[in-house]
Amino acid sequence: MKKTALNLGKHVAKIGDPQSREFLEEAIDSLDHGQRRAAVVLSWVGAVALIQDYVVANHLVDFNAEATKRNLKWKAAITADDISSRMDEYDFLQICAAISVLSKSVKNRLEQALKLRNGAGHPNRLAVGEFEAAAHVESLVKNVFEKFA
């Protein structure tokens, strides 16, 4: 896994947001040390934070309009924290696809990543393999960190 972690580590310098960069660094370090569940969770948290920040900076009006269409009680978000505290991540992905922040294929891949993150982030008997964790992190690097950083 050290070679995989080293290859993924090359992407860290491209991440401008310090918080997201730190999540990715910790995810890669977790992979390097065999902490696969931690790598899955940390990489997901950093990725979704990047998308939320991107939406706030570039698509907030469209995002709030779509959120309101789906939930009449939606209180317009102003910050990424508003989004993360008021909406679950699955719904967030659906809205991002609806307003063309995410393509259908990327949204589908992120839904899979979210399912793995949910399994890895809660006490259960889910076993996360070394290659599965590395593929999860790599997919987030390619589809989120490189695109939204």
In tens, the pLDDT along 76-135 reads: 999 999 999 999 999 999 999 999 999 999 999 999 999 999 999 999 999 999 999 999
Residue 1 pLDDT > 60, yes or no? no
Closest CA to 95 of 55, 136, 44: 55
**Is the pLDDT assigned to residue 3 strictly greater than 70?**
no
pLDDT at 5: 59
d(CA 66, CA 9) in angstroms, rounded, equals: 36
Residue-level pLDDT at 33: 93
pLDDT band at 4 (very low <50, low <70, confident <90, very high): low
Q: How does residue 11 score in pLDDT terms, banded at 50, 70 and 90?
A: confident
- 54 versus 16: which is more confidently predicted? 54
pLDDT at 57 (0 to 100): 97
Q: How far apart are the first and last CA of the chain?
A: 25
Full 3-state SS string of the chain: CHHHHHHHHCCHHHCCCHHHHHHHHHHHHHHHCCCHHHHHHHHHHHHHHHHHHHHHHHCHHHHHHHHHHHCCCCCCCCCHHHHHHHCCHHHHHHHHHHCCCCCHHHHHHHHHHHHHHHHHCCCCCCCCCHHHHHHHHHHHHHHHHHHHC
Per-residue pLDDT at 89? 98
Q: What is the pLDDT of residues 34-77, one digit of tens each?
A: 999 999 999 999 999 999 999 999 999 999 999 999 999 999 99
Residue 46: name the closest of 136, 147, 144, 129 by CA: 144
Q: Residue 10: pLDDT above 80?
A: no
pTM: 0.92
* pLDDT value at residue 19: 86
Q: How far is CA 56 from CA 25, 53, 60, 62, 67, in A?
A: 24, 5, 5, 10, 13
